[in-house]
Structure 1
Amino acid sequence: MAELPRVLIVDDSKVVRASLAQHIKTQYEVREEADGDAAWQTLVLDQSIRAVVSDLQMPKMNGYELLERLRTSRLRRLQQMPFILVSGEETEEERGKARGLGASDFITKGSGAIEVLTRLGNLLALQQAQENLDSGREQMVQNPATGLFTRKYLELQAAQALSHSARHGIDVSLMVLGFDGYEVLTHKLGPALAEEVGNRFAKMLGSKMRQEDSLGHIADGRFAVVSPGTAANYCVSFAERVRQAVEASRLSVQGQSLGLTVSIGLASVPTDLVSSAGALLELAEQRMLQAMQAGGNRTEAGGSLPATRPISLQHALELLRANRPGPVMAHLDALLGQLTPLLALMEKEMGLDLPIEQIECYLSERAKAKK
């Protein structure tokens, strides 16, 4: 059964929240908050909320302030979110102020279920119509902001690759890359700067691809690569190189040094049993989301290959130069094992008094403990 649209009810009165929830719970999933400040935090983090029903008079942040936060937000979904104010004894001047701030509609306290459902239904229908108009841009071959292929065109490229694969028995791989915490990044920097970060990433990614690969911009902060003739294990190797390059990089944005990570999902044919290009893309997206939900900064390949692997000495040094020791900590044993032959050579040729035997003993004991 399809999930119900989620509506946030904001009121400092538990009785009012319960009454409103009772009116709409047959057609909507309800989330509640008791003040505007808590509601704002919820709206930033919970991307599933489709509309807000809010009182005007509340502690910490009133309805006017919450509405103004939404309409001046850097997140487009909050700017356009339907916002219904629950009006009690407010004057016409106060209601005019709310309209000026961008209130979508008003209901009076004590309104019946039919009125509340009608107002919500009308606003969400208008929002859906606008989203359908916006989605028409996906029919274009190139994304106007990045110049990369659109999602629709990328699916066509994947469909051609699958057709070729069926005739000649070759592999096709598709990976979806998404910035971890992109909505928070957009809220912090603003859409324009967040988009610039994405464009820099796309240029880096494009420089590492083969000519026969297709790179697309499929959603905010998300990119996809179709790789004809590439088996799953080779695609994972490429994905890991990209992930590590992003992890080690530091971008300068408005004078600030910015550390980013990406989560990557991969799907391949014939390894994965999918019947269409759309299904291949959706499977890669699902795996990317799984990687994000597992903590981010990782590659999920559906179990065909390990999602994580030991980092190289070069990558470890890049992370340390970027003042990011955290990702290196889990790999210290493996890195020490790689360094031991070099340290032994230094001891022999340079006459250094290095504890080689102690290091080898330590590594041996650690290896036994892990068995």
Structure 2
Amino acid sequence: MNDAVQPPKVLIVDDSRIVRASLMRHLKGRFEVREEGDGETGWQTLVLDPTIQAVISDLSMPVLDGYGLLERIRQSKIGRIRRLPVIMISGEDDDDACNRARAAGASDFISKGVGTAELLTRLDAQIRLATAEEALDAVRDDAMKNPLTGLFTRRYLESQADQACSLAQRKGGEVSLLMIGFDRLPALTEQYGAAVVEQLVAQFGRLLAGKIRREDSLGHYGSAQFAIVSPGTPGASCRTFALRLKEAVETAHVAFHGQRVDLSVSIGVANNNDDQSTSANHLLILAGERMGEAMAGGGNRVVGCEAEGRRPDALTVDRALALLEAGRGDMVRGGSRELALRVLPLLRFLNYELQWQLPVEDLERQLNQSHPRDSAA
């Protein structure tokens, strides 16, 4: 087993073999070196080799020059590439080139005639700085995220909501917030135990994480409660998403020791434009209050700022079929008459098309007799 510490790996990108050889002599013994002759192949090497810790690049090169390579590095979606220290080298002591390179995100700028000692010192310093920043980022990530689920903490979500509201106010944009909580949490805990409920909550968190956009922020906000900060999303779109999410939970097949676990969530929605508020704290409070209102109204509901948000969600035929397939007939029973009225036109069509002999008129008469005000409307 080899326990020797591997030296840091540096990528040299220069179209001159002489310059590359000279730089490699400077770095020999202190760094492991890879070399490429233009920015395009240099970029491909960076993508494929995750062990590279720094880049030394010429400015003037064929195919892709140093500025183009630097731009790709700083705009990369891959964090390890985006954070790499990049030292730009030119044959001329050109202040304009230096300023342009620094503005593009260069970590340092030195001439090709630099001595070995100075090059080693600067490169060493840049790698140590990058390592320290990476360690600091890891500490910040630990503070931002729940160690068990990897989702954001309440404090971080509040910070994200504040930033999103500030940006929306400056740009005239929108930001929506959702507060999501499990219904009947005490009863679930008593019936299945805290450990099982904790697993269900974690599983639900993973489900949520797979359904939100990259620019959204999802995290824990309370006991078995989640919050989503969604910048740029209108309130109506957020409510539509919340309804789909609620229906996905109520029709989910979840079992414990062979016994079906009936789950549902209540969701509160707030939006800066709909609620005429620019305060992130106020919007979070509104979303939380609406989630509580949904729970108090029987649960398995979505409540927004509009009056329609206070009404129980309509029981569509598709939703009824999904609930029945999931064994949730209890949630369909209260809407039986509504469903019957919805399918009457379909039954009439099938009677005619397939020459059935279903007593559709009798069914309609019975429904209208049970609710005469509806038939007169």
The TM-score, its normalising length taken from structure 2, stands at 0.57
Quote the Cα distance in structure 2 between the aligned partners of 1:324 and 1:358. 29
Quote the Cα distance in structure 1 between the aligned partners of 2:141 and 2:216. 20
* 2:169–2:278 CA contact under 8 A, matched in 1: no
Structure 2: gaps of 5 or more residues: 1-139
SS in 2 for 1:243: helix
* 1:139–1:150 CA contact under 8 A, matched in 2: no
Quote the Cα distance in structure 1 between the aligned partners of 2:172 and 2:372. 44
Quote the Cα distance in structure 2 between the aligned partners of 1:167 and 1:334. 46
Correspondence for 1:338 among 342, 360, 366:
342
How big is each residue's C-alpha offset from its partner over 1:212-254, in whole Å with a ceiling of 9 and x where there is no partner? 2221111221011112222222222221221222122231123
* 1:172–1:230 CA contact under 8 A, matched in 2: yes
Quote the Cα distance in structure 1 between the aligned partners of 2:297 and 2:336. 22
Correspondence for 1:218 among 210, 216, 221:
221
Deviation of 1:188 after TM superposition, in Å, equals: 3.4
SS in 2 for 1:274: coil
Quote the Cα distance in structure 2 between the aligned partners of 1:170 and 1:366. 49
Say if 2:199 is the partner of 1:196.
yes
Where does residue 284 of structure 2 map in the other structure? 281
* 1:266–1:300 CA contact under 8 A, matched in 2: yes
Quote the Cα distance in structure 1 between the aligned partners of 2:297 and 2:244. 20
Quote the Cα distance in structure 2 between the aligned partners of 1:306 and 1:288. 11
SS in 1 for 2:152: coil
Structure 1: gaps of 5 or more residues: 1-136
Where does residue 320 of structure 2 map in the other structure? 316
Amino acid at match of 2:202: N
Quote the Cα distance in structure 1 between the aligned partners of 2:260 and 2:232. 38
Where does residue 227 of structure 1 map in the other structure? 230
How big is each residue's C-alpha offset from its partner over 1:185-206, in whole Å with a ceiling of 9 and x where there is no partner? 2343333321110122122223
Where does residue 75 of structure 1 map in the other structure? none
Deviation of 1:138 after TM superposition, in Å, equals: 11
* 1:250–1:260 CA contact under 8 A, matched in 2: no
SS in 2 for 1:161: helix
Report matched runs for 1:299-314 at 5 Å. Answer: 299-307=302-310, 308-314=312-318
Where does residue 260 of structure 1 map in the other structure? 263
Quote the Cα distance in structure 2 between the aligned partners of 1:326 and 1:282. 32
What is the RMSD of the two structures over their aligned residues, measured on CA atoms?
2.5
Amino acid at match of 1:191: A
Aligned-pair identity in percent equals: 40
Moved more, 296-305 or 174-183: 296-305
SS in 1 for 2:293: helix
Count residues with an aligned counterpart. Answer: 235
Deviation of 1:365 after TM superposition, in Å, equals: 5.6
* 1:236–1:299 CA contact under 8 A, matched in 2: yes
Report matched runs for 1:356-367 at 5 Å. Answer: 356-362=360-366
The TM-score, its normalising length taken from structure 1, stands at 0.58
Deviation of 1:366 after TM superposition, in Å, equals: 6.3
Correspondence for 1:247 among 244, 247, 250:
250
Which structure has the bigger radius of gyration?
A: 2
